[in-house]
Chain A
Amino acid sequence: MHISEGILTGPVLLGGGALTILGTAIGLKRLNYDRIMTVALLASTFFVASLVHVPIGPVSAHLLLGGLMGIILGWAAFPAILIALLLQALFFQYGGLLVLGVNTFNMAAPAVICGLVLRPWLQRGRKRQLTAAFVAGFGSLLLSAVLTAGTLWVSDRGFAQAAGLLVAGNIPIMLIEGCITLFIIGFLARVQPEILAFTIGDK
């Protein structure tokens, strides 16, 4: 999901950067600073999750946990993912500094969308709660793959076929991520149900 340096064209890089700045600004504005530790821990989780590779399918796939971040953090997922990606670029050479904006948008926007859309479901009984968690995990990764594929497609030449492969190849990990998000949200709902309650009022 991390696009490497030197693949995208200038306008795409600038567009991604602008959208990320916008998203991060909204995220910082809406961030409840009393919950800063939660944000940091989820950013750390995201930072590490990319190292867990799932050797299924033709592409190199790893966990993202975007859906989980979107549900718990809402718009704050933007700054959290931005910093985590920056550290990944610096420490692991994932992606790069110039493509940071595009990569952040491709991973954070689906997280925020899934989080905000699915949050109301968390309050409507155990069954819907778990369904929403699964859909968030599956859907945010699917959207990320579609966005990444779209970015490659607008940027260039010959990537169209590979872009399709990127989406198809990530389907197994979408299922896995859906299940992981389901378990984590299920666990959080049991251990600390209040966190899922106040995430709704909290944008």
Chain B
Amino acid sequence: MTPLKNQPIMPLLILLIIILSSVPTPIQAHQVQVFAWQAGEIVTVESKFSGGRPLVKGQVDVQHATTGASLYQGRTNDQGHFSFSLADTVKAEKAPLRIIVSGGDGHRNEWLLQPEVAHVSQETDQAATTVPAAELSGTAGSVSNKELTIILERLLEEKLAPIRRSLAQSQEPRPKLTDILGGIGYLIGLAGIIAWIKSRK
């Protein structure tokens, strides 16, 4: 049996603690982070690396989540953003969208987006398309309920966009301190069990 003294346990323990304490907080997951939010008809996809650096020129593929058919494709811009406007067929189907972003270096992530179609707008959509724009903005005081709803909805979506963004961002899983300590405990516990089994033989 090798004496415990000959094992670099203490120095390694010190090393572990040094590395552990240099882990930046809040801890960033080492992966491409993808999140998407919808504002009106526009869906914006934001993608970044750990540390907040945007994923530039990442390949974006938007698929129909159930059939897997590719609906939109493109590349993220310098801010790591990619936007597309929902086609009427997608809106009508209310199908969830699987948004896949892959960076070139083997990192890839996806985000599931359930397109939201406001109940009112479905009814008013037709009104919006049939009513000419000039009439819509028409004379003051002659705005109908439907038109007012459309305008309000558009404004509301604009205001809600940042909130939707941060809400989407907060859903991204991040490693927590408990995860880290749990992992270390797991490894050391496993070694303890193996050592115990071996010592019984």
The residues of A with any CB-CB pair to B shorter than 8 Å are 2-7, 32-45, 47-53, 55, 59-60, 62-63, 72, 83-84, 87-88, 91-94, 148, 151-152, 158-159, 161-163, 165-166, 169, 184, 187-188, 191-192, 194-195, 198
Contact = CB atoms under 8 A, between A and B. Distances in A.
B194 A43 contact: no
Nearest to B3: A34
A91 B182 contact: yes
8 contacts: A33-B194, A37-B195, A41-B13, A41-B188, A44-B183, A62-B30, A162-B104, A184-B11
Contacts of A3: 106-107
Given A44-B16, A92-B31, A163-B104, 9 more contacts: A33-B198, A36-B194, A40-B191, A41-B12, A47-B187, A60-B51, A152-B106, A169-B105, A195-B7
A3 to B, nearest CB: 4
B187 A84 contact: yes
A83 B184 CA distance: 11
B197 to A, nearest CB: 9
Nearest to B8: A195
Nearest to A190: B11
A92 B179 contact: yes
B12 A38 contact: yes
A83 B175 contact: no
Contacts of B23: 48, 51-52
Contacts, number: 168
A48 B20 contact: yes
Nearest to B100: A6
Contacts of B10: 191
B66 interface: no
Nearest to A5: B108
Nearest to B105: A166
B134 interface: no
Contact of B29 (A5, A92, A148): A92
Given A4-B106, A7-B106, A48-B23, A188 B30 contact: no
A53 B24 contact: yes
B198 A7 contact: no
B19 to A, nearest CB: 5
